[in-house]
Chains A and B, each alone.
Chain A
C-alpha cells in the first residue's frame, strides 16, 4: 500500500530527525538535527510549521510533557511518527535511493559508469 501524498524534501528531513531522536524528539533538537542533515542553518519557524502540517496530515502525533525548570516552567511538545508517516518516509527513502543509484551510475569516472535501467520487477 502506498501513501497518497509524497513528502517534500523538508518534510523528509523533519521526519528523519524525529526517527533519529526517538524519545527525545521535540522542536529544539529536531531543529538541530535538521540543520545537521541539511548541511545549512535552518530556522525554527519552518520546522515548527512543518511539524504542524505533518500532524495535520496524520504523519506524526504530538503531546505536551510536564513543565521543566530550564524552560521557565514551560512544557515541551514531543513528536512521534505514526504508521502513515513511517510508510511515507520509507517510500520517500526508497525513491531517494533509486535516484541516488541512477545518479551514481551516470557519473562518469567512478569505475561503475553504466546506463541506468529501470527495475523490470516494477
Chain B
C-alpha cells in the first residue's frame, strides 16, 4: 500500500488479517478491518487492537442470535464478561455433550465426563478466588499447558487410540481454560485503569 509521499505504509500481517476476516460476521467485516488497518502502528498494537475489538463484536452477535436483552452499563466488564461466560458455556456444553453426535465411538467413555467435571470444578474454584495471586496464575498456566499437550497428542500423534468424545472434551477444556485465564488473569473485557 502506497501513500501520497511515495512511502510504503506498514500493513498488518496477511495471515492475521485473514483470520480476522474469517472470524468477523459479514456485516461488520469491511469497516472493522478498515478501522483496524487505519489505526495500525505495529504488530503488537494490532494484536492488542484485535483483542480489544473482536470479542465484543462476537459477543454482541451471540447476544443478538440468542435474543437476550442488552445490559446498559458503562462498565464493560459487566457488559460483556458475565454474559459472555454464561452464553459461551450454554452454547458449548450441549455441543460437546451431544450423545448422538455422528463421530462418537460406541460404548461408554467415562474420560470426557471426568475431564468436564474436573474443568468445571477448576473453573468454580478460580471464580471463587478473591484475588488473582501467583499460585493461581501458575496453576492456570500449568493447566493450559497440560491441556495443550493432550490436544497435541490427540491430534497429531499417529495411532493414538483415543475416543473422539475425549478429543472433543479436551478441546472444550482447553477453550474453557483459555477463557478462565483471560477473564481472571488478563481480564481483557475490563476498562484500562
Binding site for B on A (CB under 8 A): 8-11, 26-28, 40-46, 48-49, 52-53, 56, 64, 67-72, 74-77
Contact = CB atoms under 8 A, between A and B. Distances in A.
Contacts of B163: none
Contact of B56 (A27, A49, A76): A49
A2 B3 CA distance: 49
Contact of B35 (A9, A28, A52, A53): A28
A42 B191 contact: yes
A71 B40 CA distance: 9
Given A49-B57, A70-B38, 10 more contacts: A10-B73, A40-B192, A43-B52, A43-B192, A46-B56, A48-B57, A49-B60, A52-B28, A70-B3, A75-B34
Interface string B43-77: 00000010011111101100010000010111010
Interface residues of chain B: helix, strand, loop or mixed (majority)? helix
A26 B192 CA distance: 23
Contacts of A49: 56-57, 59-60
A74 B9 contact: no
For B54, B55, B80, B191, the residue with the greatest tally of chain A CB atoms inside 10 Å of its CB is: B191
Given A69-B1, A71-B37, A64 B55 contact: no
Given A45-B56, A45-B57, A72-B37, A11 B72 contact: yes
26 contacts: A8-B72, A8-B74, A10-B73, A11-B72, A40-B191, A43-B76, A45-B54, A45-B76, A46-B56, A48-B28, A48-B53, A48-B57, A52-B28, A52-B60, A64-B30, A70-B3, A70-B9, A71-B37, A72-B1, A74-B33, A74-B37, A75-B30, A76-B31, A76-B35, A77-B30, A77-B31
Contacts, number: 90
Contacts of A72: 1, 11, 33-34, 37
Interface residues of B, number: 34
